[in-house]
Amino acid sequence: MRVLRWVFQIAVVGAVVGLLLVLIGNVRSNSSELGIPTGYDYLDNPAGFPIADSDFNQRQPVRDAIRIGVINTLRVSLIGIVLATVLGTLIGLARLSQNWLLRNAARVYVEVIRNIPLLLIVIFAYAGIALVLFPRITEPWEPLGIAIISNRGVVVPWHDASGWGIVAVGAVAGVVAWLVARLRRRHADRTGTPARSGLWGGVAFAVVAAAGWLLVGADVTLPELAGRGTTGGIRMSPEFFAILFALVVYTASHIAEIVRGSIQAVPRGQAEAASALALSGFQRSWFVVLPQAFRIAVPPLGNQYLNLTKNSTLGSAVSYFELAQVTSISVANGAPAVPSYLLTLLIFLAISLVLSLVVNVVNRRLALVER
């Protein structure tokens, strides 16, 4: 019986491996017949296409294009995750509001948005909102004189100089904030006073960051109109706006349901006990209900973050140069299809992996707190 099992398993695995080998063989024979390379040497060839919203030009190698694609994917995903979480939480809380109007408005939002295809929202956000609602560059909106909004992008003031200084300052500020928060918690454990570690940490972060930023140079460039474009500041292209907007709006409708479900899953007794202890409404939510709800929400939230990251590939429908778009354009410009797409899949697999790793770590930490 044991032997039979192993024979069966080896037969199945052998069949799968054999199938893979046949497939690989097909790729090679089809490619060599057409004179298409099957290796990764093409990564060093000139890309042959420019990438909008970057200083990439068509003589740079494909490798660089892919790097820009990865960065753009990560950029829209990370910003999207943060914004979708905020919006989704707000809507999820609104779903539980005692205000009839707010509750039902949130319900309509969720039931409408999550039942229509994301791609539809993406294209509409571009062709129906970013291109049409935003004014032309010849007559831009200039709110407060510090930003320029047109359908060539939203330009806001930004720190001038290389990004690394700002990153270093942020890192230092983060570490200081963490230390302060930790200190406060220790102090609270000893004395029993409220820790307010978030407040202290936040203030510490702001102070250190501001000081560091002044130290680095504190150069801010204001956006200015220059002919048919703008100079200075940092620009969010309409393509980026469209995919970000769609991802946030769509994912928020799913996150809202997770938030609502998690809060409802916290046993009523918890809130009642908090009331019995004479905690205020805010304290009841913030210290009793929400932390427990968060624990329940982490795994499905992680799933949504993964989905958002994968959905960012729809940016290619509106010419946002994330990884999928870079891949498809480079294939159109002579990169071999099979290696290009396998590489892209692998990169996405790695991104998913890292994300699920982070979610798992958070999940485990939360689970430990329970004991």
Q: Is 26 in the site for another protein (CB under 8 A)?
A: yes
Could you tell me how many residues of this chain bind another protein (CB under 8 A)?
107
Show the site string, 199-238: x = touches another protein by CB under 8 A, - = not: ---------------------------xxxx--------x
Identify residues 348-367 at the interface with another protein (CB under 8 A).
348-350, 352-353, 356-357, 360
d(CA 175, CA 358): 19
Cα 132 to Cα 142: distance, rounded to the nearest angstrom: 17
Do β-strands 224-226 and 148-150 pair in parallel, antiparallel, or remain unpaired? Answer: unpaired
Q: Contact region for another protein (CB under 8 A) — 187-195, 198-206, 214-222, 326-334? A: 326-334
Contact at 8 Å (CB) between 239 and 52? yes
CA 258, CA 293: separation in Å to the nearest integer? 10
Binding-site member from 44, 82, 86, 117 for another protein (CB under 8 A): 117
DSSP class of residue 154 equals: E
Site for another protein, residues 90 to 109, rule: CB under 8 A: 98-102, 104-105
Nearest C-alpha neighbor of 159 from the set 223, 75, 219? 219
Residue 61 interacts with another protein (CB under 8 A): yes or no:
no
According to CB under 8 A, which residues from 238 to 297 bind another protein?
A: 238-239
- From 63, 82, 96, 128, residue interacting with another protein (rule: CB under 8 A): 128
User: Which tokens belong to 113?
Assistant: 């948005």
Helix, strand, or coil here: 203? helix
Q: How far is the CB of 307 from another protein (least distance, A)?
A: 9
By CB under 8 A, is residue 152 in contact with another protein? yes
| 25 binding another protein? (CB under 8 A) | yes
Cα-flanking dihedrals φ and ψ of residue 206, to 5°? -60, -45
- Cβ burial, residue 13 (10 Å; 0-12/13-18/19+): exposed
Amino acid residing at 39 = G
Segment lying near another protein (by CB under 8 A), choices 127-135, 158-166, 181-189, 213-221? 127-135
**Taking CB under 8 A as the rule, does residue 344 contact another protein?**
yes
Piece of 28-36, 155-163, 202-210, 214-222 that binds another protein (CB under 8 A): 28-36
Q: Is-contact 325 69, C-beta < 8 A?
A: yes
Q: Please tell me whether residue 342 binds another protein under the rule CB under 8 A.
A: yes
